[in-house]
Amino acid sequence: MDEKRLAQYREKLREKERSTLDLLQRTESLGRESDGEVLDIADQALMSYTREFNFSKSSNDRRLLALVRDALHRVDHDSYGECLHCGEEIETRRLEAVPWAMYCLACQTLNEKGRLET
């Protein structure tokens, strides 16, 4: 992959890292806010649901952050854009859509079906 394209992906990944970190920080600060005095059971249920939803979202965001950081590591170590399973080049359209992609489309499909041998 040429340096210009690699620099574009690096910047996309860094922007995603920044936005995901910002989102995680906002979610965590919402979770730390005091509940105040809850007046009825419906309010308690809503607050509990909201807290669970934010926890789930935060967990997904942490996984995404790890994928983005792994991709940045691959950029820095000249292996970005190569499928981690078969070693083939990941399609440009796929990297445009998902810059943190680890696998080519064929291997990703196998992974999603649980048939990717690691």
Residues of the domain holding 91:
81-118
The count of structural domains within the chain is 2
Residue 86 sits in the same domain as residue 98: yes
Tokens 């607050």 belong to residue: 47
Q: What is the CATH number of the domain that holds 15?
A: 1.20.120.910
Nearest to residue 51, comparing CAs of 75, 71, 37, 34? 34
Give pLDDT tens digits for 15-71. 999 999 998 888 777 666 655 566 788 877 887 787 778 777 888 999 999 999 999
pTM, two decimal places: 0.79
Residue 71 sits in the same domain as residue 95: no
Residue 58 sits in the same domain as residue 99: no
Question: Stretch 82-107: mean pLDDT, rounded?
Answer: 96
Q: One-letter amino acid identity for 64? A: L
